[in-house]
Amino acid sequence: MMVDENADRTPDWLIIRRDDALDVPGAVVLPGAATRTRVGLFAALAAGLALPAYLGDTWDALSDVLRDRLDTGPLTLLITDAGQLLVDEPTDEYGLLLAVLGNLATSAPNPLCVVLTEATPS
């Protein structure tokens, strides 16, 4: 049996930070409070990226419009208070989001970087 040595490793396109002192020039910032539901996440992405009105509400539709966006250049998404990301959805929705983003990060013509920040209590 082969063991995947990278199974517990965070993929290169995903950065997880435990502080809020992160400056990411050019990043599209999505506040965690706006991303608690899939509808909220899609709306925040549509507003932050000026995505087309025909976005729809499926993961496939999101993948399509993000791929179109990545055709034009690199993209960095910064989600603040990331502990709130999709918390009001069934747990598999978070996995679906990561699958969509991971697929885009490994197949799109330009780089995708996702930064999740969660401030630690002082």
- 43 pLDDT exceeds 70? yes
Q: Compute the distance between CA of residue 13 and CA of residue 15 in angstroms, rounded to an integer.
A: 7
pLDDT at 4: 43
pLDDT at site 38:
94
pLDDT for residue 1: 45
Residue with tokens 């049996």: 1
> 3-state DSSP call for residue 70?
helix
Residues 45-100: pLDDT tens digits? 999 998 887 788 899 999 999 999 999 999 999 999 999 999 999 999 999 999 99
**All domains of the chain in start order, with CATH:** 14-117 (3.30.370.10)
